[in-house]
Structure 1
Amino acid sequence: MKKTALSLSLAAIFTLAGCAQTTTHSESQQATSVTSQQTSDVAFAAFSEQFIEQYWQQYPELSVYFGYGKYDDVITIPSAANRSAELAFIATQLAKLQSFDLAQLSDHLKIDYHLIENTLKRAKWELETFKSWQWNPSSYNVSYGFASILNSRFKSEDGKLRQVFKRLKFVPEYYDAAQANIDQPTLEYTQLGIQQNKGAFSVLTDDLLTRVDALSTFSAEEKAEFKQRFANAKTAIHGYIDFLTALEQELQKTGNARSFRIGEALYEDKFAFDIQSGYTAKQMYQKALADKARVTAEMITLTDQLWPKYFPDTARPGDDTQAIATLIKHLSQRHVEKSQFVNEIKRQIPELERFVMEKDLLTLDPEKPLVVRQTPDYMQGFALASISAPGPYEKKENTYYNVEPLDALTDAQADSMLREYNHWILQILNIHEAVPGHYTQLVYSNTSPSLVKSIFGNGAMVEGWAVYTERMMLEEGYGNFEPEMWLMYYKWNLRVICNTILDYGIQVKGISKEQGLDLLMNGAFQEQAEAEGKWRRATLSQVQLTSYYSGFREIYDLREAQKKQLGKDFDLKAFHEEFLSYGSAPVKYIRQLMN
C-alpha cells in the first residue's frame, strides 16, 4: 500500500495519542540532539571557511596550485622566521579545531575534521621532525607558480604579466633563503634540484620582455622595472643552480651526502600521515607480499593458456617465471613507434570516453577538457606520465596529461621503454592517468560541496581510484576479455604491488639497487629502463609509491562488500558516482558514509 503524507501524519498523531508522555520525551531528546548537531555543523562550517582563507594566506604557493587566485602575486620566503610563523599558525588552528566536539558533528563534517587535523599535524611533523626543507634542494623552485599564471586561459595578458611582475621581486630573496636552509642534502635530491631549476628558464623566457613591451597598460617605468626584476630573478636561479652544482661535486667527492633512506620510524610516521589507511606500513608491506604471490599464480594460468598460441612448436619451460617472462617479452614487441608515442596516447583518449559512456560506468563532463602535452621542462625527471589538474577554484581550466618525451633516450633506451608500454599496457596507462582514472576523478573532486575534501584530499584515494579503474574497465569488457590484455594487466598490477614492496624495502629494509632491480625485472617482469626509472623515483620519494596499492585494495574491497550487501540492487554507476561525490577523502571515511 502506498502511504501518502496525510496518512503518515495521521498515523503519527494516533501513535502519539496512545503513548504521549514516552514519545514526547524521546522526541524531545532527539530534537535537542538534532538542534545541537545543527548548531555544531553551522559553527564548524564557518570555522572551515575561515580556516581555508587563513591557510591560503599562510601557504600562498599552494593557493596557486588550487587556482584560488587571490595570492598569486606572492612567494613565501622559506626563512626561519616564516617557519616560526607557520608553527604558530598550526598551533592556533589546532586549538580552534579541537574546541569542537567531534561527536556533535555530522558524518560529512567529521571527515573534514579529520582531514584538517591530519593536514596541520603533518605540517608540524614535517617542520620539526622530518625536516626535508634541510635536505631536499629540489623543493625550492619558483617555476610552477609562474607557469600556472602564464598558462591560465581566463586571465588577461595584462593580468598575467602584472602578477608575474609582482612575483619576480621575491625570487632573489627566495633563493638566498633556500641556500641558507640546505644542510647535508641527499645527492639524488641535489641532482634533481639542478635539473628542475634549469627548467625554470623554459618558463621565464625572454619572450616575456617582448610581451610586456607590447602592452600599453604598462608605463615606461614599469617596463624598465619588469626588465630589472626579470634579470635579477634569472641571476638568482643561476646562482642556486651553481650553488647546487658545487654542492653535488663536493658530495660526490667526500661521500658526505645524507642517505635517501629515511628508516623505519620516520617511514611509519609518514605512512600514517600520507596514506591514512588504518594499517601500518609494515602490515601493508606484508599484504603486498601475499598479493604478489596471488597475482603471479594468475599469470601462470594465463601463460599456460596462451603458450600454444604463440609457441606451438616450443615446449613450455618448466620454470614458471621463465615461461611468463618469455611470453611477455614476445608480446611486448607489439608497440608504437618512438615518434608516435604521444600521438597514440592522444588517439586513445576518445576511445576510452566512448567505452565509459556506452557501458554507462560514469557520467563524463564534456566541458572539462583534457590536453595531452609534453611534460614541461621544470617537471621532467620524475615520472613518464602524470596529470596536472585544475583546482576547485578554476574548474574550467584545462587538465594536462603530461608525457615525458622519448627524444632524449637512445634507441636502445626508447625501445626498452616502448616494450614496457606496449600495445596493451599503453591502454592501461591511459585508463589510469586519464579516463576514467585520475582525470575523471579529479573533475569529480572539484564538484564536491566540501572544499575541505577537495583541497586536503587523500593521495591514496586518488591513486587507488586510478588503479581500481584499470581492473574495473577490463571486468566490464574493455579489451574484449583478451587473455593477452589480462596477462598484461596482471603484469601492470604486479608493478603496483611491487611499488609497495620496493618502497618499504628501500626505505626500511635497506635493499640494494641490484636487489630492487631484480624485484622489478624478475619479480614483476619489467623492462630495464622502467625498472631503472622506478628505482630513481623511489630514491626521490617516500611512501607515495605505496599509495597505489593501498588505495586500490581498500576501494575494491569496499565495492565487493557493497555488491554483497545490495545484491541485485547494486548499480555500478551509482556506486562510482556516490564514491566520487565525497571528494578525495580517505577511503576508510568514504566507507563509513556509504555504509
Structure 2
Amino acid sequence: MRSGSSSAPVICSGISTGYCAAVDEFLKWYFSDRPVIASMLGADGYDHTLGDFSAEAWTARARETEAWLERLSVTEPSTLDDELDRDLVVSQLRGAVALESWPEWRREPAAYLNPIFGSLFTPFQQRLKPEAELVDAAIARLAEVPAVLAACRANLDPDLAAPLLVQRALGQARTGRRFLTETVPGMVADEAARARLAEAAKPAGHAFDELVTFLEGFECGGTWRMGERLYSTLLREREMLGYGAPELHEKGKAAWAELDGRMREVARGLNGTTDWRAAMESLMDDHPPTLADMRAEYEAETRRAQEFVRDRDLVTFPEGEECLVLPSAEYNRPIVAVAHYLAPPPLTSSRTGVFFVPYTPDGFTDEQVRQRLRTNCRAQMPSIAVHEAYPGHHWHLSHMAGNPRTVRKVFRTPYFTEGWALYVEKVLHEEGYFDTPATELAHLDCRIFRAARMVVDTALHCDDMTIEQAEEFMSTKASLSPGTAQGEVSRYCAWPTQAPSYLTGAIEIDRIRQSYAGSPKEFHDLIAGSGGMPLGLAEKAVTGASASPS
C-alpha cells in the first residue's frame, strides 16, 4: 500500500476563533452534502455513499448555498489569511449561485456519471487504505448506483438537455457495465474480495444498461451554449477577473497573433519557411509507435523534467512526492483526448499523483490511434511532461497539500492550477529546457493552442461560432488532427469557461512575478503554496495588499 493514510481534517488550523466556527460549520455541511468530493479530497467518513441525487436534494442544495453565501459574505475575518479563505469560499459560492440558472442536474447525465466513475476508480488507483476497506466501501457505493442512475433518468429535462451533451455521456455510459464488473474488480488482488466485488457490481451494471437504452431513445432540444451574460458573470464573480467574455475573446486573439509571429521565426530554422503548421505536421510524424511506447516515453520525459527542475533549484520539492505515469482510465477515454493528472488527496499525507497518458478507447481504428500518437509526438512530450508533472500540476498540487489552511485544499480554480502549469512551461523555456528548434516550436504550439481555446470557447458559448467552425479553427490555428479537434470542441461545449483558464492564468501569474522582488524559487514556493485561488486572491497572498488583475 502506498503511503498517505486518510485522517479527519483539521478544519480551522491557524484560523482565528470567531471565524473558525463559521468555516468549520460550512465545511461540514459541504462535505456531508457532497460525500464523493469529500472522500476524493481525503476526508474520512464519506467513502461508503454516493449521496442524494434526487431533485429534492438538488433544490435543497441550491437554497442552502444561497444561505451560506449570505452568511459568509458578511463575516469579518481578523487576519489576511482569514480574509483570503473567506473570499475564496465566497467566490465559489457566487459561482454556484450564478449556475442555478444553468442547472447541470437537469441538463446533462455527466452530473450523475462522473461521481460514480471517479468514486469507484480513484480509491483503488490511490490505495490509501487497506484493500479490504476499499472493497467494502465500493460495494456500499455500488448498491446506490441504480438509484443514482434512476435519478438521472427522472431529472433530465428534454427542454434543457442538449443532444451533444447527451451523446457525449452516452459514450461514457456504454463503458459502465464493463468498468464496474471487470475493470474495478480487476484492480483487486485478493481473489475472494474480487469475486465479491464483481457480484455486487451486477445490479449496477444492469442499471447502466438501462441508462444506455434510455439515453439512446432520449429526445431533447436544449442548448449547450451558456450565453455571454452567465459566462461573463462567472469570470467576474467566481474567477474574480476584471473583465467578461468579450474582453477574454479579444485577449485570446491578441495572444494568438503574437505567438503566430514568434512561431514563424522558429519555423524558419526548421523548414526554411515561416509555415509553422507545416513544420509541426512534419514533427508530428516522429511519434512513439504504440500507445504503450507513448506511455514509456512520457515516463522517461517526466523523470528528465524532474531532474532539470531540481538541478536549477526552481522550487522546493515536498517530502515523499511521487508522480506515476499510467494509461488513462478506461471510462475517461471516450471523453478526454489529452494528457491529464490526478492529484494526491490534499486532506491526507499522500504526495503521490498520477499523470494519465491519453490512451484511445477500445474500438478505435488504427488510423485513429495513429492520429492520437501524432498529437503526442516526441517534440511535444517535453512541454506536456512539464505541464502535467514537474513543476506543473504534480509539483504544484503536492506542494499545495502542505498548506495548513483546509479551505485552500478544498477549493481551487483552473484559472490558477491550469494557469500555473502553462506558466511553468514558459519558465522552463527561459531556463533552456526546450533546447532544440523542434521542442521550442512544440512548446510555442502548446501555448498557441491555449490561445486558440480562449478564442473558441468564448465564441462557442456566446453564439459567435458553430461547432464545425470551432473544429476547423482548432485544426488550422493549432496543430490538432481533425479527430483531436473534434474531441476538444466537444469538451468546450460541455465545460464552459474552463478552456480559456490555461493562458489567462499563465499571463496573470507571469504579471505577478514581474513585480515580486525575491528569487524565482521563493516566488514559486509562495504563490503555488498559497493554494489554487482566483488570481486576484493569489496576488494578495503574495503581496499582502489588495490588487486587481489587469
Counterpart of 1:30? none
In structure 2, distance between residues paired with 1:328 and 1:547: 24
Q: Choose from 157, 161, 164 the match for 2:131.
A: 157
1:53 equivalent among 28, 37, 41: 28
Q: 1:168 to 1:523 in 2, by over 3 A?
A: closer
Q: Deviations over 1:129-175 (max 9, x none)?
A: 11121111122122221223333423223322222232233222222
Q: Which residue matches 2:192?
A: 214
Q: Displacement, 1:49?
A: 2.4
The structural deviation recorded for 1:274 is 4.7
Matched, 1:246 2:217: yes
Measured in 1, the distance between the counterparts of 2:369 and 2:210 equals 34
Say which is worse superposed, 362-371 or 227-236, in terms of deviation. 227-236
Is the deviation greater in 186-195 or in 518-527?
A: 518-527
Q: Offset at 1:525?
A: 3.9
Structure 1 residues 79-119: Cα deviation after superposition (integer angstroms, max 9, x where no partner): 12212331343244234313422xx5322211111111122
Residue type of the partner of 1:81?
E
* Match 1:362 to one of 308, 311, 315: 315
Aligned to 1:495: 449
User: Residues of 2 paired with 1:267 and 1:227: CA distance?
Assistant: 43
Cα 1:559/1:511, change in 2 over 3 Å? same
2 CA distance for matches of 1:208 and 1:502?
40
Q: What is the alpha-carbon distance in structure 2 between the residues aligned to residue 327 and residue 74 of structure 1?
A: 51
Q: Does 1:577 align with 2:525?
A: yes
Which amino acid letter does the alignment assign opposite residue 231 of structure 2?
Y
Q: Displacement of 1:123 after TM fit?
A: 2.5
1:455 deviation in Å?
A: 0.7
Matched, 1:265 2:229: yes
Alignment-mate amino acid for residue 282 of structure 1: P
In structure 2, distance between residues paired with 1:228 and 1:415: 37
Q: Distance in 1 between matches of 2:247 and 2:55?
A: 37
In structure 1, the partner of 2:166 is: 190
Give me the whole-angstrom Cα distance separating, in 2, the residues matched to 1:83 and 1:188: 23
**Aligned AA (2:376):** Y
How far is the alpha carbon of 1:208 from its aligned partner? Answer: 4.7
Deviations 1:32-56 (A, max 9, x none): xxxxxxx993211332123212210
* Distance change (3 Å), C-alpha of 1:530 and 1:204: closer
Residues in 2 aligned to 1:228 and 1:405: alpha-carbon distance in whole angstroms: 28
Distance in 2 (alpha carbons) for counterparts of 1:211 and 1:493: 42
CA–CA distance in structure 2, aligned partners of residues 492 and 149 of structure 1:
32
Cα 1:50–1:77 shift into 2, 3 Å: closer
Q: Report the 3-state secondary structure (helix = DSSP H, G, I; strand = E; otherwise coil) of the residue aligned with 1:422.
A: coil
Q: Distance in 2 between matches of 1:449 and 1:366?
A: 16
Aligned to 1:19: none
Residue 68 of structure 1 deviates from its aligned partner by 1.0
Unmatched 5+ stretches in structure 1: 1-38
| Cα distance, 1:99–1:486 mapped onto 2, change above 3 Å | same
Residue 366 (structure 1) shift: 5.5
| Letter in structure 2 aligned against 1:552 | A
Separation in structure 1 between the aligned mates of residue 51 and residue 426 of structure 2, nearest angstrom: 42
Letter in 1 for 2:367: A
Are the counterparts in 2 of residues 274 and 459 from structure 1 also a CA contact under 8 Å? Answer: no
Q: Which moved more, 1:61-70 or 1:495-504?
A: 61-70
Moved more, 413-422 or 446-455: 413-422
Once residues 337 and 39 of structure 2 are traced to their aligned partners in structure 1, the CA distance between those partners, rounded to angstroms, is: 22
- 1:429 maps to 2:404: no
Code of the aligned partner of 2:290? K
For the residue of structure 1 that corresponds to 2:502, the secondary structure is helix
Point out the structure with the larger helix share: 1
2:17 matches 1:64: no
1:135 corresponds to which residue?
A: 107
Task: After TM superposition, give the deviation of residue 526 of structure 1 in Å.
Answer: 3.3
Q: Report if aligned partners of 2:98, 2:230 keep a CA contact under 8 Å in 1.
A: no
- Which digits, 9 at most, give the CA deviation of each residue in 1:285-312, with x for residues without a partner? 11111111111111222234x15xx45x
Tell me the TM-score normalised to structure 1 length.
0.81
Distance in 1, Cα, partners of 2:198 & 2:253 = 57
The code of the aligned residue for 2:79 comes to S
Alpha-carbon distance change, 199 to 364 in structure 1, aligned in 2, over 3 angstroms: farther
Instruction: Report the residue type matching 1:260 in the other structure.
Output: W
**Which range moved further: 523-532 or 581-590?**
523-532
Distance (Å, rounded) in 2 between the aligned partners of 1:145 and 1:238: 19
Query: Whole-Å Cα distance in 1 between the matches of residues 481 and 208 of structure 2?
Result: 36
CA shift, 1:397, in A, is 6.0
**Preserved CA contact (<8 Å) 1:149 1:163:** no
Report the more deviating stretch, 514-523 or 501-510: 514-523
Provide the secondary structure at the position in 1 that maps to 2:307.
Answer: helix
Q: Distance in 1 between matches of 2:175 and 2:19?
A: 42
Show the counterpart of 1:594. 542
Matched residue type, 1:63: A
Check the 8 A contact 1:198/1:378 in 2, yes or no. Answer: no
The residue that corresponds to 1:540 in the other structure is: 494
Aligned with residue 438 of structure 1, among 385, 388, 393: 393
Please give the root-mean-square deviation of Cα atoms over the aligned residues, in Å.
2.7
Q: Is the 8 A contact 1:289 1:501 kept in 2?
A: yes
1:555 paired with 2:509, answer yes
Indicate yes or no: 2:463 matched with 1:509. Answer: yes
Answer yes or no: is the 8 Å Cα contact 1:74–1:166 preserved in 2. Answer: yes
The one-letter amino acid of 2:87's match is H
- Residues of 1 paired with 2:419 and 2:319: CA distance? 24
Q: Identical aligned pairs, as a percentage? A: 22
Paired residues, what number?
Answer: 521
Secondary structure of the residue aligned to 1:544 is coil
Distance, in Å, in 1 between the alignment partners of 2:15 and 2:380 is 49
Contact in 2 for aligned 1:457/1:584 (Cα 8 Å)? yes
TM-score of the superposition, structure 2-length normalised?
0.88
In 2, Cα distance between the equivalents of 1:169 and 1:487?
Answer: 51
Shift in alpha-carbon separation, 1:147–1:290, aligned structure 2, 3 A: same
Residue type matched to 1:156 in 2?
Answer: P
In the alignment, the residues of structure 2 paired with residue 205 and residue 549 of structure 1 have an alpha-carbon distance, to the nearest angstrom, of 40
1:457 corresponding residue in structure 2: 412
Deviation at 1:534, TM superposition (A): 1.6
Aligned partner of 1:117 among 86, 90, 110: 90
Q: Is contact 2:170–2:215 with CA below 8 Å preserved after alignment?
A: yes
Equivalent in the alignment of 1:173: 147
- Please say if 1:401 is aligned against 2:377: no
Letter in 2 for 1:473: L
Q: Give the aligned residue type for 1:164.
A: A
Q: Deviations over 1:389-427 (max 9, x none)?
A: 122123316312112224754333333333332222111
**Contact (CA 8 Å) 1:503, 1:546: kept in 2 or not?**
yes
Is residue 285 of structure 1 aligned with residue 257 of structure 2? no
Query: SS of the residue aligned with 2:326?
Result: strand
One-letter amino acid of the counterpart of residue 302, structure 1: V
Paired with 1:473 and 1:573, the residues of 2 have a C-alpha distance of 13
Q: Conserved in 1, the CA contact under 8 Å of 2:85 and 2:408?
A: yes
Q: Contact (CA 8 Å) 2:105, 2:155: kept in 1 or not?
A: yes
Does residue 107 of the first structure (1) align with residue 85 of the second (2)?
no
Q: 1:123 to 1:483 in 2, by over 3 A?
A: same
- The alpha-carbon deviation at position 244 of structure 1 amounts to 1.0
1:228 CA drift (Å)? 7.6
Closer, same or farther: CA 78–390 of 1 in aligned 2, 3 Å: same
1:387 counterpart SS class: strand
The one-letter amino acid paired with 2:314 is L
Shift of 1:230: 3.8
1:72 deviates by 0.9
Rounded to whole Å, the distance in 2 between the matches of 1:427 and 1:560 is: 25
Q: Is this contact kept in 2: 1:334–1:423, CA < 8 A? A: yes
